[in-house]
Amino acid sequence: MQWKKLGPVFCPDETLPWMRTHASTPFPVHIGGDRYRIYFSTRDVHNQSSIASLELELLPQPRVIDVEVAPLISPGVPGLFDDSGVTMSQVIRADEKDYLYYQGWTLASKVPFRCAIGLATRSGGQAVYEKYTQAPVLGINAADPYSLSYPWIRREKGLWRMWYGSTLAWEKDGLDVQHVIKYAESADGIDWQRKNTVCIALKDGESGIVRPCVLYADGKYHMWYSIRVGRKQTYRLGYGVSEDGVRWQRHDEEVNFPIGVGGEWDSEMQCYPCLFEHGGQCYMLYNGNGFGRTGFGLAVKLPG
């Protein structure tokens, strides 16, 4: 793969109290022509995250048209699984309803945090998303006893297929984590069946694989994800291929994504890739330094 970076697209300017820093885990929804609604996660002065959106004109050059001044999804009330923040995962349209999946955060004492997967929906012409329930649709259980993260979902002939992150263990000091990509299925996008199947496992020296993005092309499944090496607070991009969506082979060396230089916004980290097709070309939304503190940017895959 060869990629051409189109540069940074958006970073908060600190004018809104709930959107002071970060524009993480971007996800696009086509709204017509060359325009997209980009959902993303942002943080307030207390480092709590909410879900925001903006309108982006993709061509001839990426340009932000409008930024929503109110959050789409906010943290839950104290005691709930998402009381310390909500971060964007994906929107799925099914049966004239939008399903917005997100990661809910709660702070912990002996480890930094615990997360689960939540759902918000809206029907027809509704402008506002409502949380489906105060509880997660995918939380900790015997298969995933520690913490869960960003899901990616595809609907195939009535079957909902999910790839999501699961923590296998925390180190004793609570500062390092072992995190992999697992698989689940559902008939309705709400009740999920897990078989404790690991799709993308860790290699030697790695501590985390997070935020999968799964596409289907040329008779195969293609997954992009973020790789954390050791205890370093940084990520790089990875890539895998599968015939059935369950058994995967990693081909990280094929990503070949250019790294920023000097003090550029993505010189230290590239993470949370989200790929989509438009006008016969493949684009990638992604984050740079600081897990999205420098905003999100865009790249396009070159032919060949």
Which residues share a beta bridge with 277? 282
φ/ψ (deg, to 5) at 5: -80, 130
Average of per-residue pLDDT across 282-290: 97
DSSP letter for 290, please: H
Alpha helix (H) residue ranges in the chain:
289-292
E-only strand ranges, the chain: 3-10, 21-32, 35-43, 49-57, 63-67, 85-94, 97-107, 113-123, 130-131, 148-156, 159-170, 177-186, 192-200, 206-217, 220-229, 236-242, 248-250, 271-278, 281-287, 296-301
Residue 173 has pLDDT above 90, yes or no: no
Q: Which residues are within 8 A (CB) of 61 and not within 5 positions of it... i.e. 6 or more apart?
A: 6
Residue 4 has pLDDT above 90, yes or no: yes
pLDDT 10s digits, 197-206: 999 999 998 9
SS3 289: helix
Whether this model's pTM surpasses 0.75: yes
Residue with tokens 């092309």: 217
> How far apart, in whole angstroms, are the C-alpha atoms of residue 164 and residue 149?
6
Computed over every residue of the chain, the mean pLDDT equals 95
User: Residue 78: its pLDDT value, please?
Assistant: 97
User: Residue 27: its pLDDT value, please?
Assistant: 98
Residue 140 has pLDDT above 90, yes or no: yes
Phi-psi region of 224 (alpha: psi -120 to 50; beta: other; left: phi over 0): beta
The first and second tokens of residue 266, run together, are 């993505």
Q: Which residues are within 8 A (CB) of 215 and not within 5 positions of it... i.e. 6 or more apart?
A: 221, 222, 223, 275
pLDDT: which is higher, 168 or 176:
168
| Confidence tier at 95 by pLDDT (50, 70, 90) | confident
Among residues 177, 112, 106, which one has the least CA distance to residue 140? Answer: 106
Residue 167 has pLDDT above 80, yes or no: yes
Q: How far is CA 230 from CA 24, 106, 203, 215, in A?
A: 22, 24, 10, 28
What's the distance, CA 293 to chain centroid?
A: 15
Residues 228, 206: contact at Cβ < 8 Å? yes
Domain of residue 12, CATH code: 2.115.10.20
Residues 14, 295: contact at Cβ < 8 Å? no
> How far apart, in whole angstroms, are the C-alpha atoms of residue 62 and residue 19?
21
Which residue range(s) make up the domain with 172? 3-301
Q: How far is CA 78 from CA 85, 111, 159, in A?
A: 11, 18, 35
Which residues share a beta bridge with 206? 229
pLDDT 10s digits, 231-253: 777 899 999 999 999 999 999 99
| Confidence tier at 174 by pLDDT (50, 70, 90) | low
> How far apart, in whole angstroms, are the C-alpha atoms of residue 129 and residue 51?
11
Q: How far apart are the first and last CA of the chain?
A: 7
Q: Tally the domains of the chain.
A: 1
User: Residue 195: its pLDDT value, please?
Assistant: 87
Average of per-residue pLDDT across 280-294: 96
pLDDT 10s digits, 109-119: 889 899 999 99
pLDDT: which is higher, 124 or 138:
138
User: Residue 281: its pLDDT value, please?
Assistant: 96
